[in-house]
């Protein structure tokens, strides 16, 4: 029995609908999956139904963008969220507005650079409340300004490239506390991509619950290193493909298979968080 706990749909920068994602999960024989769209839980209600129809266990979640005190950007996955939690929904709406405003600013930068990409094209491709750079990249390809999304990131959208615009982010402490108040389990996503291993003990001190040890872009050595680190710091283990559908040509779902026992540990932590939230004590 295996799980994939890092997946995106069209509600953020993935290309699958919830029905397509649930079908793919079933086709790959996954026992459980989590939806972790960037800054939104909108896809979760549909996923509940689509997964139920196909006999796949569903875990509602999302992926928040946070910032360490050093300024490093990192992503925090939330699992087993209460997707009707009022404060969570208000915070997500705030960061969705930040994303929408950032799209306007990135398009304005491109226009200043002599790339006449209309914002309406990006918004039509995105078709969601949490648009991001992959949507701008797809628009640049569709309109013939770049040959591929990779080229769009390399020329314009990567950090410090001419059309890159920084994003307002919550702190790691705020992200973890918000997730816990909404009943969720907080897991640091793809630590090998953020290169701030020296800060992970401090995140554990802030209440981080787990580390995404297994990820499509982690080498075997990375996974081993983060499993040892998780053991040392008392963190739970998670893993997922980070599948964005057809975004990069090849869907990644099924490529990372997390043994189901780890899902049970994460669920136990969720139950502990919920019961301590109700009694008012800290986790
Ligand atoms: P954003 O949230 O708008 O900053 O966009 C971040 C998303 O863009 C990530 O989740 C990836 O899906 C994608 N991404 C980031 N860097 C690259 C890159 N160099 N090439 C292709 N996709 C990228
Ligand atoms: Fe993404
Ligand atoms: Fe991420
Ligand atoms: Zn992701």
The pLDDT tens digits for 137-164 are 999 999 999 999 999 999 999 999 999 9
The pLDDT tens digits for 175-189 are 999 999 999 999 999
Q: How far is the CA of 228 from the centre of ligand 1 (A)?
A: 28
The pLDDT tens digits for 216-270 are 999 999 999 999 999 999 999 999 999 999 877 789 999 999 999 999 999 999 9
Rounded to whole angstroms, the Cα distance separating 94 from 235 reads 29
Rounded to whole angstroms, the Cα distance separating 69 from 205 reads 14
Coil, helix or strand for 253? coil
Percentages helix, strand, coil for the chain (3-state, rounded to 5) are 45, 15, 35
- Mean predicted confidence (pLDDT) in 195-222: 97
Coil, helix or strand for 145? coil
What pLDDT is attached to residue 219? Answer: 97
Cα–Cα distances in Å, from 69 out to 169, 170, 238?
Answer: 11, 11, 24
Rounded to whole angstroms, the Cα distance separating 12 from 130 reads 5
What pLDDT is attached to residue 275? Answer: 94
The verdict on the CB of residue 6 being under 6 Å from ligand 1 is no
The pLDDT tens digits for 13-45 are 999 999 999 999 999 999 999 999 999 999 999
CB 241 within 8 A of CB 216: yes
Longest dimension (CA), the chain: 58
Q: Which ligand gives the minimal distance to the CA of 160?
A: 1
Which ranges of the chain does DSSP label H, i.e. alpha helix? 18-27, 44-54, 86-112, 119-126, 133-142, 149-152, 172-181, 191-194, 200-205, 220-233, 260-279
Q: What is the mean pLDDT of the chain?
A: 96
Domains of the chain: 2-92+169-279 (3.20.20.140), 100-157 (1.10.150)
Q: Among candidates 91, 92, 80, which has minimal Cα distance to 274?
A: 80
The verdict on the CB of residue 153 being under 6 Å from ligand 1 is yes
Q: Which helix (H) or strand (E) is 10 found in, with range?
A: none
Point out the ligand 1 atom lying closest to the alpha carbon of residue 134: 8
Pocket test residue of 62, 98, 100, 133 for ligand 1, highest count of atoms within 8 A of CB: 133
Point out the ligand 1 atom lying closest to the alpha carbon of residue 75: 10
26: CB partners within 8 A, 6+ apart: 54, 55, 56
């Amino acid at each position: 029995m295996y799980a994939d706990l890092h997946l995106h749909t069209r509600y953020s920068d993935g290309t699958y609908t919830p029905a397509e994602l649930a079908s793919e999960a079933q086709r790959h024989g996954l026992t459980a999956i989590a939806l972790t769209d960037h800054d939104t839980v909108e896809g979760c209600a549909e996923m509940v139904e689509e997964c139920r129809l196909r006999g796949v266990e569903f875990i509602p979640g999302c992926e928040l963008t946070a910032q360490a005190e050093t300024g490093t950007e990192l992503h925090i996955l939330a699992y087993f969220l209460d997707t009707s939690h009022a404060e969570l929904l208000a915070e997500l709406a705030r960061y969705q507005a930040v994303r929408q405003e950032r799209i306007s600013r990135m398009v304005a930068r491109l226009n200043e650079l002599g790339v006449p990409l209309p914002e309406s094209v990006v918004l039509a491709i995105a078709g969601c409340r949490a648009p991001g750079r992959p949507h701008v990249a797809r628009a640049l390809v569709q309109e013939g300004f770049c040959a591929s999304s990779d080229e769009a990131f390399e020329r314009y959208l990567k950090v410090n490239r001419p059309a890159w615009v920084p994003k307002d982010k919550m702190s790691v402490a705020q992200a973890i506390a918000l997730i816990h108040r909404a009943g969720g389990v907080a897991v640091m996503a793809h630590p090998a991509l953020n290169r701030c291993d020296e800060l992970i003990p401090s995140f554990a001190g802030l209440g981080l619950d787990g580390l995404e040890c297994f990820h499509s872009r982690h080498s075997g050595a990375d996974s081993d290193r983060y499993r040892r680190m998780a053991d040392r710091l008392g963190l739970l283990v998670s893993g997922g493909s980070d599948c964005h559908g057809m975004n990069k040509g090849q869907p990644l779902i099924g490529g990372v298979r997390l043994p189901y026992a780890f899902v049970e540990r994460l669920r136990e932590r969720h139950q502990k968080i919920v019961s301590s939230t109700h009694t008012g004590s800290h986790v």
